[in-house]
Amino acid sequence: MKFLRYLSYLFYSYYSKGSRRNVAYLSAILAITFLSYIHILIIVMWFKLGKYFSFALEGQRGLRYFKLMLLMSPIFFFYYFGIKEKKLVELRDSLGYDHYDREINHRYLLFTYVAIAFIILVVLSAKNR
């Protein structure tokens, strides 16, 4: 759980600057949820399990979004209740300013990793069609 807390801290520190500072915690939790969902989709596409999840692609657009919300909500609530904003603030205070340079590097690596995971998802999706 420490690793997930640190990843959410990286997103939290990114979103706590600028216009999203009021919703930085929620944005961090949503980003971690999105990253988890990308990994689940990569696993589904890698092992060709898409036929078991085809029900999420049927119906009108609003119904598909509702099904997607139902699929992602357990992951969201797991992170929301498992990673508290208070712990993220404590982590920021405990790391201090000496960790700032390393945090910037870790954040660049995290965003690069998200981009690579998304590219892998797109390639697997194109390959499975």
Residue 129: the pLDDT is 76
pLDDT, one tens digit per residue, over 93-116 is 888 777 778 888 999 999 999 999
CA nearest neighbour of 35 among 2, 66, 79, 65: 79
* 95 alpha carbon, distance to own chain's centre: 22
pTM of the model as a whole: 0.86
Residue 55: the pLDDT is 57
Torsion-angle region of residue 96: left (phi > 0), alpha (psi -120 to 50) or beta?
left
Identity of residue 97: Y
Which residue stretches of the chain have pLDDT < 50? Answer: none
- What is the 8-class DSSP label of residue 122? H
Residue 79: the pLDDT is 96
Domain boundaries, the chain: 15-128
CA nearest neighbour of 103 among 17, 1, 33: 17
**Average model confidence (pLDDT) across the chain:** 88
Residue 57: the pLDDT is 61
Residue 68: the pLDDT is 83
Q: Is-contact 32 76, C-beta < 8 A?
A: no
3-state secondary structure 40-102: HHHHHHHCCCHHHHHHHHCCCHHHHHHHHHHHHHHHHHHHHHHCCHHHHHHHHHHHCHHHHHH
